[in-house]
Structure 1
Amino acid sequence: MLKKTILVRSLSVAFGGAAVLAAMPAMAQQQAGENVQRVVVTGSLISRTDTETAAPVQVLTAQDIQRSGKTSVAELLTDLAANGAGTLGTGFSGAFANGATGISLRGLTVGATLVLVDGHRVAPYPLSDDSQRSFVDVSSIPFDAIDHIDVLKSGASATYGSDAIAGVVNIVLKKNMTGGRVNVEGGGTQHGGGQTYRASIGTGYGDLDSDGYNAFITAEFRRQDAIKTEDRDSYDWDNRDWRARGGNNINLGAPVQRLDANGKPVSTVGFLTHASSPFLYNPTGAKVNGSAALNPANYQFLDSNCNFNKYMADDCIVRDTKGFIQPKTQNFNVLAGFTKKLGNDWELGLKASLFRRDSLNNRGMGAVYSPASFGGNTTLVNGVLTPGVNRIASTLFAAGAPVGGGGIVNNLGSPARLYGYIPGVDGTNTLDNSSKTTRFAADIKGTAAGWDINGGVGMTEVKSDINYSGYIDRPALYSALNNGSFNVLGANDPAILNMVSPHFSNELTSKLNYLDLIGSRELMQLGEGPLALAVGTHWHKRKQNSPPADRTLTGQVASTSAFVIGDETNTAVFAELQANPLKSLEAHVSARYDHYSSYGHSFTPAANFKWTPTKQIGFRGGIAKGFRAPNPAEVGNAGSFFTFNAIPDPILCPDGKTTTAGNQINACAIAPPYVQITNKDLAPEKSTSYNLGMILEPVKDLNATLDYYHIEVKNQIVTAAGNLPGFVPNFVRNAPAPTEFSDGNGGTYVATAAVGLPAYAQSPYVNTGSTKTSGIEADIGYKWRMGEMGTLRANLSAAHTISYKQIAADGTVWSMAGTQGPSVVGGATGNPKDRAQFTLGYIRGPLDVSATMNYTSSFSTLDPSVGGTSCDSSAADVGGRLYFQGVTQPANYCRVSSFTTTNLNVVYKLTKDLSLRGAILNVFDRQPPIDVGTYGNASAQTAYNASLHQAGAVGRFFSMGLTYQF
């Protein structure tokens, strides 16, 4: 009794004991063991006894989650059949919102899917997807804190407001707990790396019915080790040498070559990456086979272990030993709750949670000398770019001039460029990302004056601390090289290394506080049932403070994270009417009015129906308006750099062909950096969605739903580059430099053009174009009760995209279903037409076995919306990858194969309270198919789709665990 009193008092103090407003609806189904009662389900404001609603809702129970064999919510939700193009996974380590995971229902990006916790809005991740789209990081939410997850696959802005265009994911946390539970488990991959450990404990006291209260606390620890790219480089999708596949060897140190029939280099397109042994290269020297880069006389290797003839040898190249397929992460999570019956049907619920995630994310090989592509840093402040800050006068070393310390001089007789790995500096640009999510929420519900009252108030915050390492302060580097204080062969003073490659950090915060109040009641009898009304109001204040890192602000270091500083206030009122004019017909009409401080107001109505002429068959459908409000990243003080598909320089290579006389060869496939500019005059995106479905239960224990959807999103907020027809960026160019030009006869010559290559271009956000998508989603479940032989259950969830069309402002229509696109808004994460998840389970006595198969269909690597219409060049056209630069891309790389993985989970109850669990993920060790069009993967080395095929890159994974309940 003493323990109970201490726990209750502690939780009461922690929450402040305030009896304040409670949960917005969508609080979902009742806890097991409660008496059958009316509940509010996701997508409606009015309570009901039938949980099969007029809108399609997929429910993942706590038992479903445990049977999945997964160890994180991010992994679980990524496999949803309805999750499509634009999904953000932890394998996409080069993303703006690195380390986080976001869900993209119907392939309409993470910005069009609203994620709620307990039916309430929460603070989004401080870094936006593609520096633009706000989303909730689901990777920080622990397994053991979840009661269930509702996935509403329907437009729901009339109920929930902005962002609910494609649907809603409502993660419902535990409401109460009695007794205790301890869980420990561990596992690892067959091919190395990825060891995972998880432990959790929870305990609760008090019975709501008999004691009038319940108090509980649960804590979870999870650690997942990294999988490096070198752990998988025996597979083609993780091998840089593409020569055996008809392409180039893009290992660090290899020029981008064309090869003859005997595999000998006959010409080069220039240097793609840089060798481990530092060397000087004379770009104006004598040519061999039309190229100066193939003449050994133009090289001066500064390390005697390497020379031109050993240029391709293993000891003369840099392997990517730091790149991550899966980042190292560590989670620590605590959830505490207290529920108290107040009398007269009133109930108070209080929750507090702290979810912390630490991850190490790779950004690619960066600590190399790369003067050819560097023309001086720039400063990005308040969306305005100031060029030439800390600019370097020249990156060439004159003939006879010293090159750093150690007595090394340029002996090539002409100005030369320095290439190679920078000694003593970690060869990887990395971001140690620590994210802490805190949430305090109070719920109250009861009845007053004939109204059922639900209210809620809460404070949420996500704070991310990023530590940068491996980045190069270019002005400091060339200053040290020119004054002789930096030795290119190593043995440098730590103080010099810290100056050249400084360690620095940044703090980012995102806050959202909310207030919800809803009242509902039956007004009168109408037809075969009551006419019910629900009315409510919502308010939230959001602040985002994600400033640029100080070294980026001063122009010393480039390519860190984007920045966003801004806020928004939203006030809304909404209502819903529900009626049963016929016994078999249920009708809903709802509407919402929102006012945003960032742009103005939106009005979004919706109507739904469900008709069940018999118990075996029913029909449902609806129409809904929706919107996505412009967020601080789009209208506030924000800025970022981005690149996407390769394009020809309009001046230096106007026809895009390296064989045309007078074309600068290295200008025919450039991926220029763009500076993203905000636009305070943006209007919200607007959508109209339709759905029509069937609900079938022909026999007992067999149920199925089949739903058709059609969504049109207009007035889309996109960057002008790649989306606004006729948009010609104003390139800011580097100074001209000697380089190779085509002579039109298969050879090259060295010259200096009138203009240099682009340094960057500006691209503002604009409202333009639209997207139309339609598809069919099915959920089928069957339970076969076999008496003493046990129970067999089968569930199929499948989604088929009928059409996905992107319409430009000039009326041009691109069909995206089954392609890589739209890569500009989807991160080239792929847009397969079909995804499915099939689960087969068997229970007999203490044995519970589940097998889950996840299927993703094939798709092409083309993206016509960015000009990627040729199988000869889709790697460069769409993903900007240079696997086949200078050669014709083989036709078999124009398509990404289908991918299926099977997961097995087995639970055996050793005793009433002790259970043993074993799981194998990717049982058949399926490797991911090669995808040359994506850039949404672990690094430039890998050629697989991390958003769709991450399980294949991880490989077969084994885990075991024990659970004890008391």
Structure 2
Amino acid sequence: MTFKLKSMPHAIAILAATGALAGMNPAMAQQQPETAAMQRVVVTGSLISRANTETPTPVQVLTAQDIQRSGKTSVAELLTDLAANGAGTLGTGFSGAFANGASGISLRGLTVGATLVLIDGHRMSPYPLSDDAQRSFVDVSSIPFDAIESIEVLKSGASSLYGSDAIAGVVNIKLKKQFKGTRLNAEYGDTDRGGGRTRRTSFSTGIGDIDADGYNTFITAEWREQEAIKVAQRDQYGWANRNWLSRGGNDLTLGVPTSLNGGLTAASTPFLYNSATAAQGNPNPGATNPANFRFLDPKCNYELYRAGGCAVRDEVSNIQPATENLNVVIGMTKKLSDDWEIAFKGSLFKRDSINNRGVPGAYSPNNFAGSTTLVNGVLTGGVNRIANTRFAPGAPVGFGRTNPFGQAASLYGYIPGLAPLNTTDNTSKSTRFSADLTGSAYGWDVNAAVGATRVKVDAEYSGYVNRAALYNAINQGRWNVLGPNSPELIQEVSPTFSNRLETTLNYFDLSGSRELMQLGAGPLAVAAGVHWHNLKQNAPPSSQTLNGAVASTSAFAIGEETNSAAFAEIRATPITNLEVSVAGRYDHYDTYGRSFTPSANFKWTPIRQVGVRGNFARGFRAPNPSEVGNAGSFFTFNAINDPILCPNGLTSTAGNVIAACGQNPPYVQTTTNQNLSPEKSKSYTFGIIVEPMRGLNMSLDYYNIEISNLIVTRAGNDPTYVPQWVRGAAVPTTVSAGGTATTLATPIVGPILYGESPYINAGSTQTHGIEADVRYRWRLANDLGAVTANLSAAHTFGYETTVAGTTYQLAGTQGPSSVGGATGNPKNRAQLALGYNRGPLDVTATVNYTSGFSTKDPSHDAVDCNSTALNVGGRTYFQGLPQPLAYCDVSSFTTTNLNVQYKLSENLTLRAAVLNLFDKEPPYDVGTYGNAGAQTSYNASLHQAGAIGRFYSLGLAYQF
């Protein structure tokens, strides 16, 4: 069983060399002085406190110092680089996400819905907009750096202790318990390539010492502003450029007529096109006849248009959205006696982000198929349909212009004065109030907690077009197709509207632990507790979506769940150096019923330097309000060729409807399935811990997780599913006349409006692999400082998905591409941090590595190179052309971050950081759809650092 990280040979060599050097030269690797016995603490993954932090289940701990040394400026950026974070992760660069602007973690590639995120060991209200309209998750993008004491990542299933959504593991973000003194911090950062300027300031102050004074009160406040990075600021790079001609593909530049659009597309200035056929009196119909064009602005003419001279540069699509964060945490801890203390915390995390999907909307040249509405389970297609948007001879074309042709004319162009298409300005406010009472009574260590949490999103939508209002204004001569138009008229045509979405989660926890007796070689310890929480999700559809005035803005979900649970854990040392524990949890969800989940762990240390550990656990995930409440969503899955209107997928075949070739049909996640059963899981880990010398600690753990009864949308997950396409009326549309010629004709059937895709329980997923962790610290001779090396790495042996009895191997592929923006499923991820500290100087270099993977997804019939760009990512880069082999695989990606801190004085610290030190570009990924709106071809979840480019930051911190 070999484990290679081929792109990190130098990093691994450095680590091995330093370890060997320390072993051979004890003078250089001096022993650290003996330290006092460690204080007993509760480590994530157990209810019982312990002195030994090497637990039976693998836990990765990031301290506040680790966080500061990372050079990152947000928790979302920090957690994205975790080696255990895999397929389905949700990054802020995914502009087309249902939950755009938010960020979620996907341990072991099992999606954000299987990873539980806790704050101080307790639940937090999830983001109101679920990932892919289904998976509930906690947004980690707003949690402030300075308030964090540590982050513990439990890389093992933990449903038996924490609940149904801990199948893949737990991320526990621990906030500071106390803060003494005052700390001021200011940072400024910018990119090499333009955009992305970041400013951050924070203030923390606290009084009192819990041990000496019996109390502590503190407040931490942080403000962070990050400017957007536009695609236009990166379009000199191939992965951000729409013209693929030099790469063997199509030119997708906006405003350039090609065979894919039938030679007719909106350009930089509007034009009228004589769309009549020969039968309708046009002596020479088609897009190759200059006489059929009338450009309404002299900046463009037919010759320029055909030569690509009227192209439109996308100045608005984002690589990275603009965000602004304001975060406040207030904490107070009071000792009630020697044995009891109470702690209160209140926090407000506020994030503003602006996300959009490209240039303004375009006019509808021939017709408008209407919108689809879903109201209380009733689906209606073709709402506000306009059968004919062409203009009769002599008819007004808005603001004094008329159709100069003797036949009907179509209007092509972008609608002036509008916000970028489908723009959402999100203001997310996460509030949390908690009280924790801890103490000892009658031999029990008792923890009681109560909390109220809420996430509220105020979304303001713009860039959506009310087609009925638009064509009424044009036909009445009130709308200037070239602009400008009055703000009042723009609001009528493209209304700005808002919506409020929120979730609330209130909880109560009570647990106690104690040692009952001596059993064997150690104490028999027991812990037991109860948990209760009530979750309410109220994310209704927006008013303009509900009535069909505009296209769908997003998913909606309205529902509630109440969970009551009791749990217990027993730990014993039956023989010397053998620790065993068992735990179990009984849950009752009012949305579906009862479940019991057990787990068992062991840790055996035959000699002081070697330990063996293992874990077995069962788990489940209860259907959430998005799956069993009043909910629905509109989404596109992958590109298809309309089986009737474009059966062979070629726009050059006579009779094929141009828009029906390689289209992304809309699916409607219809009324939820009340009979859904919970997902069930079983997992186990087995590992070894080695500490051959003081300062060197190594662990290697094998994991195996299987989830059955998966809750999935039917499209793409049921091979027997044949969509029953709901079509609109057949109306005149652009049809291929053979080759590059087109004509206007009425096809035999109308366009696809939508297909239904309900949630079902189907199939299973099993993933297994190994995770390594190596930590080394040694002091150099002659007081030359200390050197540290920390390596965390993960290798996936297999990621098998079974659908309808057929098993597909997805490790090292783009699959499962139906979730999380087709983020890819690389087999290897690793992070190596090398540090040097001497006196006031602290230097850390961090290398992040992600292996390459194939763009294929065999579970979705993408089994060869030519099927990946269109069938997986829904991209038309090579539509109708052979896809070059170079784009069948995504290359590995390695970035290096450098962070330097220097204490100028006892109170003043200077920090400088360079992220992506060597300015590595992201590799091509034609299979991802996470940033399809911007038509970029990089993976925003795995390779966002490459798209941002080299980033510099400089900061000062003053503490007194």
SS at match of 2:758: strand
Give 1:554-593 correspondences, 5 Å limit: 554-593=547-586
TM-score by length of 1: 0.92
Give 1:450-489 correspondences, 5 Å limit: 450-489=443-482
Q: What do the CA deviations read for 1:216-256 (whole angstroms, capped 9, x no partner)?
A: 11111111111111111111111111111111211111233
> Partners in 2 of 1:419 and 1:110 — Cα distance?
42
Shift of 1:862: 1.4
Find out whether 1:541 has 2:541 as its counterpart: no
1:962 aligns with 956
SS at match of 2:136: coil
> Partners in 1 of 2:586 and 2:142 — Cα distance?
32
Q: What do the CA deviations read for 1:655-695 (whole angstroms, capped 9, x no partner)?
A: 54556675545423221011112111111111111111111
Aligned residue type for 1:50: N
2:190 aligns with 188
- 2:649·2:880 contact (CA, 8 Å) conserved in 1? no
Which of 828-837 and 888-897 deviates more?
888-897
Find out whether 1:332 has 2:334 as its counterpart: no
Which of 413-422 and 693-702 deviates more?
413-422
2:829 aligned residue (835, 848, 865): 835
* Alignment CA distance shift 1:665-1:502 (3 Å): closer
- 2:262·2:740 contact (CA, 8 Å) conserved in 1? no
- 1:286·1:292 contact (CA, 8 Å) conserved in 2? no
Q: What do the CA deviations read for 1:690-738 (whole angstroms, capped 9, x no partner)?
A: 1111111111111111111111111111111111121112211122234
> Partners in 2 of 1:163 and 1:272 — Cα distance?
50
Aligned residue type for 1:780: V
1:237 aligned residue (225, 236, 239): 239
Find out whether 1:227 has 2:229 as its counterpart: yes
2:254 aligns with 252
Find out whether 1:646 has 2:639 as its counterpart: yes
Which of 517-526 and 744-753 deviates more?
744-753
Q: What do the CA deviations read for 1:753-785 (whole angstroms, capped 9, x no partner)?
A: 221120111111111111111111111111121
2:427 aligns with 434
Q: What do the CA deviations read for 1:885-944 (whole angstroms, capped 9, x no partner)?
A: 222222211111111110000000111111100000000011111111111127333111
- 1:381·1:639 contact (CA, 8 Å) conserved in 2? no
> Partners in 2 of 1:654 and 1:160 — Cα distance?
51
> Partners in 1 of 2:879 and 2:421 — Cα distance?
24
1:449 aligns with 442
1:131 aligns with 133
Shift of 1:642: 0.1
2:65 aligns with 63
* Alignment CA distance shift 1:886-1:756 (3 Å): same
1:200 aligns with 202
- 1:397·1:410 contact (CA, 8 Å) conserved in 2? no
* Alignment CA distance shift 1:312-1:329 (3 Å): farther
Shift of 1:826: 3.2
> Partners in 2 of 1:272 and 1:431 — Cα distance?
29
Which of 36-45 and 165-174 deviates more?
36-45
Aligned residue type for 2:565: A
Give 1:566-645 correspondences, 5 Å limit: 566-645=559-638
Find out whether 1:307 has 2:309 as its counterpart: no
> Partners in 1 of 2:257 and 2:807 — Cα distance?
39
Give 1:452-531 correspondences, 5 Å limit: 452-531=445-524
- 1:182·1:964 contact (CA, 8 Å) conserved in 2? yes
1:702 aligned residue (696, 708, 722): 696
Shift of 1:405: 2.4
> Partners in 2 of 1:315 and 1:656 — Cα distance?
28
> Partners in 2 of 1:390 and 1:184 — Cα distance?
52
> Partners in 1 of 2:191 and 2:338 — Cα distance?
55
- 2:529·2:566 contact (CA, 8 Å) conserved in 1? yes
Q: What do the CA deviations read for 1:127-157 (whole angstroms, capped 9, x no partner)?
A: 1101111100000100001000000000000
1:805 aligns with 800
Shift of 1:526: 1.4
Shift of 1:751: 4.1
* Alignment CA distance shift 1:105-1:312 (3 Å): farther
SS at match of 1:168: strand
1:5 aligns with none
> Partners in 1 of 2:267 and 2:943 — Cα distance?
31
Which of 913-922 and 313-322 deviates more?
313-322
> Partners in 1 of 2:264 and 2:68 — Cα distance?
46
Shift of 1:313: 6.2
Which of 471-480 and 101-110 deviates more?
471-480
Give 1:391-430 correspondences, 5 Å limit: 391-411=385-405, 413-430=406-423
1:362 aligns with 356
Give 1:36-75 correspondences, 5 Å limit: 36-75=38-77
* Alignment CA distance shift 1:291-1:342 (3 Å): farther
Give 1:711-860 correspondences, 5 Å limit: 711-739=705-733, 751-787=745-781, 788-808=783-803, 810-860=804-854
> Partners in 1 of 2:503 and 2:918 — Cα distance?
42
SS at match of 1:558: coil
Aligned residue type for 2:145: F
> Partners in 1 of 2:541 and 2:845 — Cα distance?
46
- 1:398·1:410 contact (CA, 8 Å) conserved in 2? no
* Alignment CA distance shift 1:345-1:383 (3 Å): same
- 2:41·2:50 contact (CA, 8 Å) conserved in 1? yes
> Partners in 2 of 1:924 and 1:587 — Cα distance?
47
* Alignment CA distance shift 1:374-1:781 (3 Å): farther
- 1:460·1:511 contact (CA, 8 Å) conserved in 2? yes
- 1:691·1:707 contact (CA, 8 Å) conserved in 2? yes
Shift of 1:750: 5.8
> Partners in 2 of 1:281 and 1:859 — Cα distance?
46
Q: What do the CA deviations read for 1:266-305 (whole angstroms, capped 9, x no partner)?
A: xx553685212112334555799x9933443433322222
Paired residues in the alignment total 921
Shift of 1:317: 2.2
TM-score by length of 2: 0.93
* Alignment CA distance shift 1:416-1:891 (3 Å): farther
> Partners in 1 of 2:939 and 2:206 — Cα distance?
43
> Partners in 2 of 1:285 and 1:891 — Cα distance?
42
Aligned residue type for 1:473: N
2:271 aligned residue (270, 279, 282): 279
Shift of 1:627: 1.1
> Partners in 1 of 2:915 and 2:809 — Cα distance?
34
> Partners in 2 of 1:81 and 1:588 — Cα distance?
28
> Partners in 2 of 1:256 and 1:612 — Cα distance?
69
SS at match of 1:499: helix
> Partners in 1 of 2:264 and 2:420 — Cα distance?
16
* Alignment CA distance shift 1:373-1:949 (3 Å): farther
Q: What do the CA deviations read for 1:433-492 (whole angstroms, capped 9, x no partner)?
A: 111111110001112222211110000011111111121111111111222211212132
* Alignment CA distance shift 1:562-1:373 (3 Å): farther
1:18 aligns with none
1:30 aligns with none
Shift of 1:372: 5.7
Find out whether 1:867 has 2:861 as its counterpart: yes
- 1:774·1:801 contact (CA, 8 Å) conserved in 2? yes
> Partners in 1 of 2:808 and 2:653 — Cα distance?
30
- 1:923·1:956 contact (CA, 8 Å) conserved in 2? yes
Structure 1 residue runs without a partner (length 5+):
1-32, 258-267
SS at match of 2:627: helix
Aligned residue type for 1:797: S
Which of 62-71 and 423-432 deviates more?
423-432
> Partners in 2 of 1:779 and 1:292 — Cα distance?
65
- 1:461·1:510 contact (CA, 8 Å) conserved in 2? yes
* Alignment CA distance shift 1:228-1:660 (3 Å): closer
Q: What do the CA deviations read for 1:762-811 (whole angstroms, capped 9, x no partner)?
A: 11111111111111111111112103111111111111111111110x21
- 2:76·2:141 contact (CA, 8 Å) conserved in 1? yes
> Partners in 1 of 2:870 and 2:456 — Cα distance?
37
